[in-house]
Amino acid sequence: VAKLLATRLVNLNRVEVLWRPVTNHLLEVIIHPLNRLRGWGIDVITMLVRSVIRCDYSTTLKENQRLQTLFISPLNELSSTSFVDVQQK
């Protein structure tokens, strides 16, 4: 999980290419039965979303609906999981 975060943060300039594979893997982590691993997955997803929102893009994020949807979709997945601890975070 930590390696995925580090890889993702280094490659923020290629966000559109790497976003889905990395976040999809992390979304698999948040359904793991081990609470601690789920917690790490949640923390990494939320940290990544915050990081990509803070970045500068050629077209501002406010004007780019596609990127907005791309970045917010993992949070939507977090809220639709059956684990209460994931939904709360």
- Residue 18 resides in a domain: yes
Q: Which domain holds residue 70?
A: 11-88
Distance CA 20, CA 26 (A): 10
pTM reported for the whole predicted model: 0.76
- Residue 42 resides in a domain: yes
Residue-wise pLDDT tens for the chain (89 aa)? Answer: 677 677 766 666 677 777 888 888 888 888 888 888 888 888 989 888 888 888 877 778 888 898 889 888 998 888 888 888 887 87
Distance CA 17, CA 10 (A): 13
- Residue 51 resides in a domain: yes
- Residue 41 resides in a domain: yes
How many domains does the chain divide into? 1
Distance CA 26, CA 42 (A): 8
